[in-house]
């Protein structure tokens, strides 16, 4: 690598680290009321990625890209579309929807009305709500979903024939076979679907079907049917960052397929570990306890 390339790579890395740090701090910290600056979403990430130099990922013994490590999420999980500030821990945010270009989920008319009904009945104390609690985020009851799990990060482990993800939530893990084996029958439904993986060049592709309809994409009522089909793509974009992309299809709910994109970044702390995030289903006090 020439000195010019080294300087370009260093500058690009600094930009991505700064972007990811800003995302993390905004998503997890406290933000003053009335904040107007939007946190970084798909639009900002794609602009930053366009500045990055080409990257060749290190290889595993089988020649496949090495995606292993502890990767931190970049989404707060509150609303995958663009949102205004909800509370001190939910700042204004760009949409994570990269396609369509307007950042909006392409709902069918009936489904958009249903999503809006969810939002009106969440009783979070924000504009447009009825004040009556009629719905609650299914994740309140420890029901993790795809692609939402990526918001909190994961540890990725590669072994012959499998990719395994250890999630920072309720002791969840995913074991993704890479041999294109058959799936259960269509009547079988799972909270996180049934994944099957393959390699597309340097990108890990995970095709997920057989979902239950009982999860949301975020806390804001964005939903799907049992016909949900998600294709995830993991691509190393540098030593310590990786792009996560998901293409989402559901002909019963959406007018067309749509995509989300975000960076995930390698944990930098010395001796970083994936700490357990306990989730106590149906044992909560507070506003979610009386949800119907």
User: Mind listing the pLDDT tens digit for each residue in 165-214?
Assistant: 988 767 788 999 999 899 999 999 999 999 999 999 999 999 999 999 99
Tracing tokens 């691509």 back to the chain, one arrives at 235
Closest CA to 69 of 238, 193, 211, 202: 238
Tell me what the mean pLDDT of segment 60-79 comes to: 87
| Cα 236 to Cα 215: distance, rounded to the nearest angstrom | 29
CB 262 within 8 A of CB 150: yes
pLDDT value at residue 124 = 79
pLDDT band with cut points at 50, 70 and 90 for residue 16: very low
What span, in angstroms and rounded, lies between the C-alpha atoms of 216 and 143?
Answer: 9
Structure tokens of 100? 């369509």
- For the residues 67-75, what does the mean pLDDT come to? 84
Q: How far apart are CA 81 and CA 119, in angstroms?
A: 13
What are 125-169's pLDDT values in tens digits? 777 888 899 998 888 888 888 998 877 778 999 999 999 998 876
Asked whether 74 and 265 are in contact (CB, 8 A), the reply is yes
Give residue 237's pLDDT band: very low, low, confident or very high (50, 70, 90).
very high
| pLDDT for position 90 | 72
| Average pLDDT of the chain to the nearest whole number | 83
Task: Kindly state the tokens that stand for 219.
Answer: 């806390």
- The C-alpha atoms of residue 126 and residue 151 are separated, in whole angstroms, by 23
* Short-list 211, 217, 207, CA closest to 176: 207
- pLDDT grade for 289, boundaries at 50, 70 and 90: very low
Section 263-287 average pLDDT: 70
What's the structural domain count of the chain?
Answer: 1
Q: Tell me how far apart the alpha carbons of residues 121 and 119 are, in angstroms, rounded to a whole number.
A: 5
pLDDT above 90 for 76: no
The better pLDDT of the pair 273, 56 is held by 56
Show the domain range for 18. 3-290
Query: How far is Cα 79 from Cα 93, in angstroms, rounded to an integer?
Result: 8
Pick 292 or 288 by higher pLDDT.
288
The pLDDT of residue 3 is above 50: no
Lowest pLDDT segment from 6-15, 163-172, 216-225, 265-274: 6-15
Instruction: Tell me how far CA of residue 256 lies from CA of 47, 110, 273, in angstroms.
Output: 24, 15, 39
Residue 168: what pLDDT? 73
Q: Is residue 213 packed enough to be buried (19+ CB in 10 Å), middle (13-18) or exposed (0-12)?
A: middle
pTM of the entire structure? 0.84
């Amino acid at each position: 690598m020439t000195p010019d390339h080294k300087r370009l790579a260093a500058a690009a890395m600094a930009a991505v680290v700064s972007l990811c740090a800003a995302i993390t701090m905004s998503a997890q910290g406290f933000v003053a009321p009335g904040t107007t600056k939007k946190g970084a979403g798909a639009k900002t990430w794609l602009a930053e990625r366009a500045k990055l130099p080409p990257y060749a990922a290190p290889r595993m013994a089988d020649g496949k890209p090495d995606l292993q490590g502890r990767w931190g999420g970049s989404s707060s999980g509150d609303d995958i579309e663009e949102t205004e500030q909800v509370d001190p821990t939910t700042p204004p945010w760009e949409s994570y929807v990269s396609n369509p270009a307007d950042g909006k989920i392409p709902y069918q008319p009936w489904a958009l009305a249903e999503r809006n009904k969810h939002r009106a009945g969440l009783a979070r104390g924000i504009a447009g709500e009825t004040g009556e609690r009629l719905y609650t985020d299914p994740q309140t009851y420890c029901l993790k979903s795809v692609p939402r799990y990526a918001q909190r990060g994961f540890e990725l482990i590669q072994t012959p024939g499998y990719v395994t993800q250890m999630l920072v939530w309720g002791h969840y893990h995913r074991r993704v076979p890479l041999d294109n084996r058959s799936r259960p029958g269509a009547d079988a439904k799972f909270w996180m679907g049934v994944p099957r993986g393959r390699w597309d060049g340097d990108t890990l592709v995970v095709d997920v079907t057989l979902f239950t309809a009982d999860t949301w994409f975020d806390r804001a009522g964005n939903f799907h049917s049992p016909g949900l089909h998600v294709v995830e793509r993991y691509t190393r974009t540098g030593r310590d960052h990786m792009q996560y992309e998901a293409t989402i299809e559901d002909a019963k709910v959406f007018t067309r397929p749509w995509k989300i994109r975000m960076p995930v970044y390698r944990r930098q702390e010395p001796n970083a570990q994936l700490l357990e995030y306990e989730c106590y289903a149906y044992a909560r006090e507070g506003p979610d306890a009386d949800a119907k």
